[in-house]
């Protein structure tokens, strides 16, 4: 099965708390092997990093994570190295400060994924906002996830939260000291292992509802949706493209009339589809949505509304197949 490593971009104004958030991810890695790309090690303040060996361009940390420095020119090559199977990382986090503007950074990442970093996947643009500043800028309109940090510095974060939620296309998560749970960004390895039968079961997907970082998890939700009849490809693609409210990422298995099941994964409005392994079967859809303030009944109703019309024959798969990822990573 193709194995792609999500690359998450972390952006935000000076002092918003990007390095604090990255440090938190490293401290709470809990078996998730994270590769961090920064401009210089100083910015990340290697406190939690338990550095093994001498700092160089790539520093191995005692918890299996890696810390690397580069500039924008070296980013694609470094991402190719970090996401290669030999690096055995689960997640790569790029801290934007000084590397490039967020929009430019997203473009660099997508170019790298389409080019030399063939094992990388788009993991989302996370924009950190300092609640203490009382303001935000246009970058939040690009964010797949807004982390409203430093909420301890304000009496009432509600007005800023409301104004962010009005403009941000994805969820907004209020936190203190960058306390973002890595499980929101990537599946924890222990729970990602296939069950003994070797099948990707719905139970396996659901087990991810209970990540280790329970405190941080209190801030976000996972919602499972099931449907026992096939979906219409055009309706389902339109549902994913619209970006269901509050959802940061989703994954699951879906069947369309007359076709074998597909595995579907989304981050923001970035959609990836591939044929499901032969061992996986589903009558309709089994999906898990991860995000903030999710409406479980609303998500179930929205998936139900994607039902295929049995009288309409076999619909074209094109609306879904245009998101099919290449299989070239299978070769490794």
Ligand X SMILES: Nc1nc2c(ncn2[C@@H]2O[C@H](COP(=O)(O)OP(=O)(O)OP(=O)(O)O)[C@@H](O)[C@H]2O)c(=O)[nH]1
Binding-site ranges for ligand X (CB under 6 A): 12, 14-20, 43, 97, 149-150, 152-153, 176-178
Residues 6+ apart with CB under 8 A from 159: none
- Smallest distance from the beta carbon of 284 to ligand X, in angstroms? 43
- Smallest distance from the beta carbon of 180 to ligand X, in angstroms? 11
- Smallest distance from the beta carbon of 16 to ligand X, in angstroms? 4
- Smallest distance from the beta carbon of 127 to ligand X, in angstroms? 11
Using the minimum distance from each CB to ligand X, give the nearer residue, 15 or 243. Answer: 15
Using the minimum distance from each CB to ligand X, give the nearer residue, 104 or 152. Answer: 152
Between helices 75-83 and 102-114, what is the axis angle to 10°? 50
- Smallest distance from the beta carbon of 272 to ligand X, in angstroms? 30
SS (H, E, C) the chain: CCCCEEEEEEEECCCCCHHHHHHHHHHCCCCCCEEEEECCHHHHCCHHHCECCCCCCEEEECCCCEEEECCHHHHHHHHHHHHCHHHCCCEEEEECCCCCCHHHHHHHHHHHHHCCCCCEEEEEEEEEEEHHHCCCCHHHHHCCEEEEECHHHCCCCHHHHHHHHHHCCCCEEECCCCCCCHHHHCCCHHHHCCCCCCCCCHHHHHHCCCCCCHHHHCCCEEEEEEECCCECHHHHHHHHHHCCCCEEEEEEEECCCCCCCEEEEEECCEEEEEECCCCCCCCCEEEEEEECCCCHHHHHHHHHCCECCHHHCCCCCHHHHCCECCCHHHHC
Using the minimum distance from each CB to ligand X, give the nearer residue, 15 or 257. Answer: 15
Using the minimum distance from each CB to ligand X, give the nearer residue, 16 or 264. Answer: 16
Using the minimum distance from each CB to ligand X, give the nearer residue, 156 or 310. Answer: 156
Using the minimum distance from each CB to ligand X, give the nearer residue, 120 or 128. Answer: 128
- Smallest distance from the beta carbon of 64 to ligand X, in angstroms? 23
- Smallest distance from the beta carbon of 129 to ligand X, in angstroms? 10
Using the minimum distance from each CB to ligand X, give the nearer residue, 14 or 311. Answer: 14
């Amino acid at each position: 099965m193709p194995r792609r490593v999500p690359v998450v971009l972390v952006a935000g104004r000076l002092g918003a708390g990007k390095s604090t958030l990255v440090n938190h991810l490293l401290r709470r890695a809990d078996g998730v092997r994270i590769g961090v790309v920064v401009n210089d090690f100083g910015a990340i303040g290697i406190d939690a990093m338990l550095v093994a060996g001498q700092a160089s361009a790539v520093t191995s940390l005692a918890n299996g994570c890696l810390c690397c420095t580069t500039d924008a020119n070296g980013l694609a090559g470094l991402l190719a190295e970090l996401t290669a199977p030999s690096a055995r990382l689960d997640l790569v986090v790029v801290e934007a400060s000084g590397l490039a503007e967020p929009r430019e950074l997203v473009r660099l990442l997508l170019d790298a994924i389409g080019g030399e970093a063939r094992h990388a996947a788009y993991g989302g643009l996370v924009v950190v906002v300092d609640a203490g500043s009382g303001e935000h800028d246009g970058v939040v309109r690009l964010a797949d996830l807004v982390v409203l940090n430093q909420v301890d510095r304000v009496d009432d974060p509600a007005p800023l939260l409301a104004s962010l939620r009005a403009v941000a296309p994805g969820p907004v998560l209020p936190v203190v000291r960058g306390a973002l749970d890595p499980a929101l960004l990537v599946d924890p390895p222990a729970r990602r292992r296939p069950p003994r039968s070797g099948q990707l079961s719905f139970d396996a997907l659901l087990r991810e509802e209970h990540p280790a970082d329970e405190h941080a998890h209190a801030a976000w939700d996972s919602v499972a949706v099931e449907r026992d009849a096939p979906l219409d490809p055009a309706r389902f693609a339109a549902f994913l493209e619209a970006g269901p409210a509050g959802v940061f990422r989703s994954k699951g298995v879906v069947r369309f009339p007359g076709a074998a099941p597909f595995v579907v994964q989304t981050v923001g409005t970035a959609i990836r589809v591939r044929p499901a392994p032969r061992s996986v079967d589903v009558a309709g859809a089994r999906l898990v949505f991860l995000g903030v303030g999710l409406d479980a009944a609303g998500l179930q109703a929205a998936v139900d509304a994607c039902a295929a019309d049995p009288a309409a024959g076999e619909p074209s798969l094109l609306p879904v197949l245009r998101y099919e990822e290449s299989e070239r990573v299978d070769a490794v």
